[in-house]
């Protein structure tokens, strides 16, 4: 992590050779630009550069105003001012934008800009607000008040449209008006920043929902009597997807193929690999592959796409016959599905012939087992994130036995479909004492005659 770089002490206007603020009687006031005894350090960003912070707690810190104006007569224009708490508002004066850049430190809350100044490097531009645009680029996080001549309200209003928080007439300044304008500008800038962050958050949420719809599968079950439900929860904070993946499709012969898998790891590379494996599984399944042939081809895809030779993926595939009474099961290092039927306790399907995870053994084989489902049933496929959560404060984990007992109880309570999966995931999280660190994917297929 980069080491914070201490910010140099802000330079008061009196030290920079600038004019002092005047008292209401016309004489020089005490140094209104005297800095605080210890300025807060700047916070380094991820690139190592420093980023400015605008002080947001104006009730406990004196407000500081940076005045940028060039009065050829040298007559001060800013009177003494008090903030809402009765504390003096400090003033620093810069005669040009170069000095303004040097005096624009973290503890400046507001900028009072004379629009009559010329912007450096703009030449003979016709843009009357070039200096304002320059200041807004220089200090995008600071409140800005535009100062213009009396009677030039149109220019002041245009300054507000460009980005200033308000405008004032040069010949009408007094301490009370300016103090109120500064406080208003600071609060309005803070409100605008909050609204902008909220709008950006809404846009990110909308983009995430669109991405989620594109990356998570849409089951292809047209013509099947089976009911489908799924729950997905990535383990990474603010992540859209984790390394878990699933899919369900129905082929033209009426067979329903279901799959769930888990790429080891929790980063974005693992999430991307999971999406690739899911898409490859769907394409291969619709092309007629199943069982050992399908898993062998998926292993080739994984070996080609993975970023590291240590990456592997577990997988469970189920091929449900058109009559819905039996299924073929293949396990590649993955937990066995759970089967629940009326009048019988929920149980795990056999996993004696569990083959190795994809990506571990070249030339591996994955036996395909036939299992009887019956006339009415619920089949739950899940990833290990559902069973590896802890129970309370100890080191004990829920495990497959604990999950089976939980699902038995929830079935007995009448929970089915989405309600069952939601209750299961929520209970596992509650038992863990908080959010689960691993990805969780669960899908449920139900057959009701």
Identify the pLDDT of residue 339. Answer: 97
Q: 238: pLDDT confidence band, cut at 50, 70 and 90?
A: low
CB atoms within 10 A of CB 369: 16
Rounded to an integer, what distance in angstroms lies between the CA atom of residue 279 and that of residue 282? 5
CA separation, residue 31 to residues 63, 68, 88, 106, 237 (Å): 14, 17, 11, 19, 49
Beta pairing, strands 90-94 & 64-68? parallel
Q: What percent of the chain stands above pLDDT 90?
A: 47
Residue whose structure tokens are 């898993």: 295
* pLDDT value at residue 216: 80
Residue 42 pLDDT greater than 90, yes or no: no
Q: Is the pLDDT confidence value at 242 over 60? A: yes
pLDDT score, position 124: 52
Position 319 scores a pLDDT of: 97
Residue 78 has pLDDT above 90, yes or no: no
Pairing of strands 64-68, 326-332: unpaired
Q: Sort residue 434 into left (φ over 0), alpha (ψ -120 to 50) or beta.
A: left
Q: Is the pLDDT of residue 200 over 80?
A: yes
pLDDT of residue 33: 36
Which residues sit opposite 146 in a β-bridge? 113, 167
For 147, phi and psi rounded to 5 degrees? Answer: -110, 125
**Residue range 201-236, pLDDT digits in tens:** 888 877 766 666 667 888 999 999 999 999 998 876
Number of residues written out for the chain: 449
> Between 153-162 and 130-138, two packed helices, what is the crossing angle to 10 degrees?
30
Q: What pLDDT digit, counting tens, does each position of 159-190 carry?
A: 999 999 999 988 877 778 888 888 888 888 88
Beta strand spans in 280-415 (E) = 313-320, 326-332, 338-341, 344-348, 369-372, 377-382
pLDDT digits (tens, 9 = 90+) for 148-161: 888 788 999 999 99
Give the separation between CA 34 and CA 88, rounded to whole angstroms.
Answer: 11
pLDDT value of residue 56: 41
Q: pLDDT band for position 372 (50/70/90)? A: very high
Residue 319 near residue 281 (C-beta atoms within 8 A): no
CB 143 within 8 A of CB 189: yes
Q: Which of 11-25, 261-275, 417-431 is the least confident region?
A: 11-25
Confidence of residue 433 (pLDDT cuts 50, 70, 90): confident
Give the pLDDT confidence of 281-319 residue by residue, as tens digits: 999 999 999 999 999 999 999 999 998 999 999 999 999
Average pLDDT, the chain: 82
**Rounded mean pLDDT, 329-339:** 97
pLDDT band at residue 145 under the 50/70/90 scheme: very high
Higher pLDDT, 390 or 172: 390
- Report the C-alpha gap between 400 and 157 in whole angstroms: 68
In this prediction, residue 404 carries a pLDDT of 97
Work out the pLDDT band at 26, boundaries 50, 70, 90. very low
Name the band, by pLDDT with cuts 50, 70 and 90, for residue 357.
very high
Structure confidence at residue 392 as a pLDDT band (50, 70, 90): confident
Predicted confidence band at 240 (pLDDT cuts at 50, 70, 90)?
Answer: low
The pLDDT > 70 percentage for the chain reads 80
Contact 84, 183 (CB under 8 A): yes
Is-above-0.85 flag for pTM?
no
CA atoms of 204 and 222, how far apart (whole Å): 33
Q: What are the beta bridge partners of residue 440?
A: 233
How far is residue 253 CA from its own chain's centroid?
43
Asked if residue 111 lies in contact with residue 131, where contact means CB atoms within 8 angstroms, the answer is no
Burial class (CB in 10 A: 0-12, 13-18, 19+), 47: exposed
């Amino acid at each position: 992590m980069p080491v914070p770089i201490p910010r140099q002490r802000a330079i008061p206007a009196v030290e920079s050779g600038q004019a002092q603020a005047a008292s209401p009687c016309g004489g020089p006031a005490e140094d209104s630009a005297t800095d605080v005894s210890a300025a807060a350090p700047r916070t380094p960003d991820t690139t190592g550069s420093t980023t400015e912070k605008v002080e947001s707690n104006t009730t406990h810190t004196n407000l500081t105003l940076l005045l940028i104006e060039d009065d050829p007569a040298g007559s001060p224009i800013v009177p003494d001012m008090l903030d809402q708490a009765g504390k003096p508002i400090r003033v620093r004066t810069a005669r040009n934008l170069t000095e303004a850049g040097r005096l624009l430190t973290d503890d400046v809350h507001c900028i009072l800009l004379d629009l009559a100044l010329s912007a450096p490097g703009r030449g003979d531009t016709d843009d009357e607000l070039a200096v304002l645009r320059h200041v807004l680029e220089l200090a995008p996080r600071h409140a800005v008040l535009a100062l213009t001549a009396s009677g030039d309200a149109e220019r002041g209003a245009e300054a507000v449209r460009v980005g200033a928080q308000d405008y004032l007439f040069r010949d009408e300044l007094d301490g009370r008006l300016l103090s109120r304008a500064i406080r208003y500008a600071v609060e309005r800038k803070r409100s605008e920043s909050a609204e902008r962050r909220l709008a950006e958050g809404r846009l990110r949420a909308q983009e995430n929902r669109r991405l989620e719809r594109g990356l998570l599968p849409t089951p292809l079950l047209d013509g099947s009597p089976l009911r489908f439900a799924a729950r997905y929860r990535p383990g990474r904070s603010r992540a859209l997807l984790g390394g878990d993946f699933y899919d369900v499709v129905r082929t033209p012969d009426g067979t329903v193929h279901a799959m769930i898998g888990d790429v080891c790891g929790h980063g974005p590379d693992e999430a991307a690999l999971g999406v690739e494996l899911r898409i490859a599984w769907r394409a291969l399944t619709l092309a007629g592959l199943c069982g050992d042939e399908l898993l062998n081809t998926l292993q080739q895809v994984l070996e080609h796409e993975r970023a590291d030779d240590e990456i592997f993926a577990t997988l469970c595939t189920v091929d449900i016959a058109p009559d819905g009474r039996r299924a073929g099961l293949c396990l590649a290092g993955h937990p066995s599905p759970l089967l629940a039927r009326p009048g019988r306790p929920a149980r795990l399907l056999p996993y004696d012939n569990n083959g190795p995870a994809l990506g571990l053994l070249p030339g591996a084989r994955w036996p395909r087992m036939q299992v009887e489902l019956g006339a009415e049933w619920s089949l739950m496929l899940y990833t290990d994130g559902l069973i590896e959560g802890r129970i309370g404060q100890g080191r004990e984990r829920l495990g497959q036995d604990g999950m089976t007992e939980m699902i038995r109880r929830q079935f007995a309570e009448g929970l089915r479909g989405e309600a069952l999966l939601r209750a299961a995931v929520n209970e596992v999280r509650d038992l863990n004492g908080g959010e689960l660190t691993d990805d969780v994917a669960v899908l449920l297929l139900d057959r009701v005659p």
